[in-house]
């Protein structure tokens, strides 16, 4: 399922869709730097996260649930030069593929939003009991958003 708000839909219609080596390479680099912490897929850029030193009770009080923890930990920003707008859908497909290769049968939520010339990426394991991280009505947000599950 891909949910797109009106603003993102207009951008994707205007830009079109294209495959690109750049989007593919970035998705591989991102997923390569993920690992499991408490059954959550977490981006660990430098490989220095120490699960034993994390206060999960405090983290969960702040973010609400494990989906919130993942989304908060997995927030990355790219310039449109790194991932052109016409490669956004391909980038999401590549991320899904790489996540599935590394983590098997899990379902993932991938969120792309656009702000001031940048592309924001967030992702999380989809947990049926926790639901989606964003409201299903993406038009209520003031930025172009795509949410793929």
What are the tens digits of pLDDT across the range 88-112? 999 999 999 999 999 998 999 999 9
Closest among 68, 80, 67 to 26, alpha carbons compared:
80
Closest among 40, 31, 28, 23 to 106, alpha carbons compared:
40
- Strands in 6-102 per DSSP E: 34-37, 40-43, 75-79
CA distance 29 to 11: 26
Calculate the alpha carbon distances from 69 to 57, 66, 102, 125 in Å.
11, 5, 20, 10
Per-residue pLDDT of the chain (149 residues; tens, 9 = 90+): 899 999 999 999 999 999 999 999 999 999 999 999 999 999 999 999 999 999 999 999 999 999 999 999 999 999 999 999 999 999 999 999 999 999 998 999 999 999 988 999 999 999 999 999 999 999 999 999 999 99
Q: What is the mean pLDDT of the chain?
A: 96
Pull the structure tokens for residue 39: 């059954």
pTM, two decimals, is: 0.94
CA distance 27 to 71: 16
């Amino acid at each position: 399922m891909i949910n797109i708000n009106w603003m993102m839909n207009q951008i994707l219609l205007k830009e079109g869709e294209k495959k690109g080596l750049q989007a593919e390479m970035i998705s591989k680099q991102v997923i390569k730097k993920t690992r499991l912490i408490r059954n959550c897929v977490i981006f660990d850029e430098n490989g220095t996260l120490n699960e034993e030193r994390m206060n999960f009770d405090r983290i969960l009080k702040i973010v609400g649930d494990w989906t919130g923890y993942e989304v908060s930990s997995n927030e990355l920003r790219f310039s449109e030069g790194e991932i052109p707008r016409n490669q956004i859908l391909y980038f999401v497909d590549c991320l899904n593929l790489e996540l599935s290769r590394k983590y098997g049968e899990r379902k993932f939520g991938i969120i792309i939003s656009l702000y001031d010339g940048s592309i924001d990426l967030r992702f999380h394991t989809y947990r049926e009991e926790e639901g989606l991280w964003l409201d299903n009505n993406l038009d209520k947000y003031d930025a172009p958003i795509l949410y793929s599950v």
